[in-house]
A and B are shown apart, each in its own frame.
Chain A
């Protein structure tokens, strides 16, 4: 067989690989373009920061722009903030483009702007801390006698977590040592929903036995008897945001299959308001930071209620099939209230409320206006992005899933929306205008839930195919595959401080993952 060319030697192979590597790097910025004028604007207030600055095009990448902006704002070396830059055209179409790597490839090369123009860049600060991708299973804790149906981390820290299970108990876990702390016994049927109060003191559980129960998170004791009133099982729970609570009188909303939502006074254990109006099972309830309650239902509608009076404000209609899940852009700040990454907790109650309000307003302010966006996932394979404050009409329709969309979440910095569908895909969308960004492919079973890390740079998804997968949001690639569960993973949560991921599913074991 003299005609056969011998296989390449190792030296030849390394040469080819080297060449291929170098060829990829050639995509660079031409250095004969001179400079371009850049004007920075603050996304939150919409006001200009500093004068327009002339920047050499060859050097106009995100890193250098960050340094420049930090200098313009007079930030010291130790308080430098990473920024995300968005270009917004001043024309009617008002399109917004994120600057991914540099100005040349994002704006100049596609011909959106030339070097003659002044480019207006809006900046938003990114999280100053960085969450590492979880990579290993720190603990697999047996204890529950049936499948785990819901899980939630405490907003205070990543060291406690609560899970609700089919064995009609909820359990509180010490995640640092991987041991059970308390068993919350009392329900007579499956525990379908669990929720920590924003200050982390009370745990609420909703069950198949039509009741809601409250527990002391520290001691693991029941706070009074069951809250009875619903005629069918509880599907979802939402606490009143910390800054909106009357002092010493927190409230809790529970959604039920019996198509009502009940708002409970947690201290007196009485029904405060009953929100009835839906014609089908209420699947999800969310309590917004501006005194509104959002509910989604099987009757294809989303309703917006006033949390004070309990009156219906709006009905959002667009979906063609049952609405499965809702997410607010402010979910993360509302859930964590005054707990931030510095872990400094104010002493006095009044300070806590101020801190929580300040945090909420800081996160939700865009162009001097507090904006709370809402995204809804439905069985009609689509999602809608809403701005209930300004309009009854959706901002955008998010098309792309090929089966029912089960779960949807906003990233903590509100820049992204992630949706998990039964078509085995997780999709990432722009949180501002609902534009499609990328699809995370890799699961081979329906994806049940997903959760962002606190710095919005990573996403974890749980699936029927028994795995968890961690995705890198920026690159759209798989960051980490986490096999280990022996059966479907029903619930996953990323702790608000980013340290740990907790998951549970049909194999009855709670798993805690860390980096």
Chain B
């Protein structure tokens, strides 16, 4: 503030720009020194800051690289016949490819009931639930079960009275989105989960919305713009979870087509 005021009254130092340039040039040295020598909480905060900065930097570099890519042979028309008005356009074919492949596959009725992961390892109740003691004074003996696995909690979920609540689904382990891969095309899209349809371990887990490997979830595909042959818009499709979400920190799924 006072610096700005001073600069407005008297102007900048004559060597101001030079000093700024030098400071910027030495910035890397200062950062390196800090990174090596800071200790304790300051070091932790500093690393966090650097981490965030580096992520931003990588993103920027990547964006720049993508921008610089020359489109390959714009004059080369596609192999599939296209009408005149689509000929000179580069098309976002992801969703479309997905949609037509789904339709092709749907014709094969046999594929309807096959899932990519037919068998999963069982999970014991001990592993799934942790006991939490609750209550105070007269109710010291009451206890609840906390689910130790990632869960999906629907938008319409309202909590009941905490006293009546028997299962705790930790906030930190809740997921709303899944990275859904199309098995043949290898296209991956992040889609919102609508509901958990079937947890192979236990029907109770299905109703609790536990996300473990092999669970069938319904995902929202409305943004792909798929339409059934009868003209209705498709918005929910099933997918099977293909990873261990508790180990990976994300939900990956394979679309059932």
Contacts and interface: CB of A to CB of B under 8 A. Distances in A.
Interface in B219-252: 225, 227-233
B71 interface: no
B103 interface: yes
Interface stretch (B9-17, B77-85, B204-212): B77-85
Task: Name which of B80, B81, B88, B96 has the most chain A CB atoms within 10 A of its CB.
Answer: B81
B100 interface: yes
A209 interface: no
A150 B83 contact: yes
Contact of A165 (B81, B84, B103, B231): B81
A406 B89 CA distance: 12
A481 B228 CA distance: 13
A283 B83 CA distance: 12
Interface stretch (A8-16, A152-160, A269-277, A482-490): A482-490
A505 to B, nearest CB: 9
A484 B82 CA distance: 20
B90 to A, nearest CB: 12
A281 to B, nearest CB: 7
Given A444-B227, A483-B231, A190 B81 contact: yes
Task: Name which of B86, B227, B230, B233 has the most chain A CB atoms within 10 A of its CB.
Answer: B227
A325 interface: yes
Contacts of A310: none
B103 A486 contact: yes
Contact of A192 (B80, B83, B232): B83
A122 interface: no
A467 B88 CA distance: 24
Contacts of B231: 466-467, 481-484
Contacts of A491: 83
Contacts of B87: 192, 233, 235, 257
A460 interface: no
Interface in A185-202: 190, 192-193
Given A444-B233, A486-B103, A465 B84 contact: no
A406 B85 contact: yes
Given A486-B103, A487-B100, A324 B85 contact: yes
Contacts of A192: 83-84, 87
A445 B85 CA distance: 16
Interface in B94-147: 96, 100, 103
Contact of B85 (A257, A448, A465, A506): A448
Contacts of A483: 227-232
A295 to B, nearest CB: 14
Contacts of A486: 103, 229
A149 B84 contact: yes
Contact of A149 (B82, B227, B228): B82
Contacts, number: 72
Contact of B225 (A149, A150, A444): A444
A466 B227 contact: yes
A339 interface: no
A174 B165 CA distance: 70
Q: Chain A's interface: helix, strand, loop or mixed, by majority?
A: loop
A147 interface: yes
A165 B88 CA distance: 18
A241 interface: no
Nearest to A165: B81
A496 interface: no
B80 A147 contact: yes
Contacts of B233: 444, 465
Contacts of A481: 231
A235 B88 CA distance: 11
Nearest to B85: A406
A262 interface: no
B110 to A, nearest CB: 20
Contacts of B83: 149-150, 192, 448, 490-491
Nearest to A147: B81
A298 interface: yes
B100 to A, nearest CB: 7
A325 B227 contact: no
A146 B82 CA distance: 10
Contacts of A233: 84, 87
Contact of B84 (A146, A236, A298, A506): A236
Nearest to A168: B81
Contact of B81 (A149, A281, A466): A149
A147 B230 CA distance: 20
A461 to B, nearest CB: 13
Contacts of B100: 487
B97 to A, nearest CB: 12
A480 to B, nearest CB: 11
Contacts of B228: 483
Interface string A468-498: 0000000000000111101100110000000
A166 interface: yes
Interface string B32-69: 00000000000000000000000000000000000000
B225 A445 contact: yes
B84 A235 contact: yes
Contacts of A257: 87-88
Contacts of B85: 283, 324-325, 406-407, 448
B81 A465 contact: no
A375 interface: no
A162 interface: no
A448 B225 CA distance: 15
Contacts of A482: 231
B42 to A, nearest CB: 49
Contacts of A302: none
Nearest to A236: B84
Nearest to B89: A404
A44 interface: no
Interface string A272-308: 0000000001010000000000000010000000000
Nearest to A281: B88
Nearest to B231: A483
A162 to B, nearest CB: 15
A207 to B, nearest CB: 11
Contact of A166 (B81, B96, B230): B81
A407 B85 CA distance: 9
A271 B77 CA distance: 27
A407 B77 CA distance: 21
Nearest to B81: A166
A65 interface: no
The 8 closest A-B pairs by CB, nearest first: A166-B81, A483-B231, A149-B83, A490-B83, A147-B81, A192-B84, A465-B227, A235-B84
16 contacts: A147-B80, A149-B84, A150-B84, A166-B82, A192-B84, A193-B84, A235-B84, A407-B85, A444-B225, A448-B83, A448-B85, A464-B96, A465-B227, A482-B231, A484-B231, A486-B229
Given A166-B80, A486-B103, 13 more contacts: A149-B83, A149-B84, A190-B81, A193-B84, A257-B87, A407-B85, A444-B225, A448-B83, A448-B85, A466-B227, A483-B231, A484-B231, A491-B83
